[in-house]
């Protein structure tokens, strides 16, 4: 089971930017066809999917998904030699405040189906807090 570790959270004012990083313990993980995703959970709310990336392929031809609430503000990318997936968050809003979690699973036959369902993921990081003030 791959282990995931997030970093990059912090406090920022509305309109600002943050870049989160998720490093996988297995250096080969991002070279293989897996699905890595970012979720977030605010106090009193359910965990929701933010973005995901299909690793091991050329993402210039696709291979990413975003929640409607973050489209055009967030981007997701991978750096294979660093075994790291990044979530670049721009134009942050107070409603983006949450604990952000990295998750992963094999891409497998199910592919992108249920990409936004937390229970479909087999590995999770500990989370990193993002706080956006107005």
Whether the per-residue pLDDT at 58 is higher than 80: the answer is: no
Confidence of residue 129 (pLDDT cuts 50, 70, 90): very high
Tell me the CB-side half-sphere exposure of residue 6, using CA atoms within 13 A: 26
**Three-state DSSP string of 38-90:** EEEECCCCCCEEEEEEECCCCHHHCCEEECCCCCCCEEEEEEHHHCEEEEEEC
Percent of the chain's residues with pLDDT above 90: 84
pLDDT at residue 62 tops 80: no
Mean pLDDT of 36-43: 97
The CA-atom distances, in angstroms, between 62 and each of 10, 66, 73, 104, 133 are 29, 12, 17, 18, 33
List residues bridging with 98 in a β-sheet: 130
Is it the case that residue 61 has pLDDT exceeding 60? Answer: no
Please give the mean pLDDT across all residues of the chain. 94
DSSP state of 25: S
């Amino acid at each position: 089971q791959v282990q995931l570790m997030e970093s990059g959270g912090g406090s920022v004012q509305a309109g600002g930017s943050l870049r989160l990083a998720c490093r996988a313990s297995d250096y080969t993980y991002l070279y293989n066809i897996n699905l890595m995703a970012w979720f977030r959970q605010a106090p009193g709310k359910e965990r929701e999917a933010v973005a995901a990336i299909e690793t091991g392929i050329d993402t210039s031809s696709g291979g990413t998904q975003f929640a409607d609430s973050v489209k055009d503000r967030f981007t997701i990318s991978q750096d294979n030699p660093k075994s790291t997936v990044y979530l670049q968050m721009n134009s942050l809003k107070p409603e983006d405040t949450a604990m952000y979690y990295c998750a992963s699973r094999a891409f497998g036959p199910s592919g992108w189906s249920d990409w936004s369902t937390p229970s479909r993921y087999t590995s999770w990081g500990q989370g990193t807090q993002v706080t956006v003030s107005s």
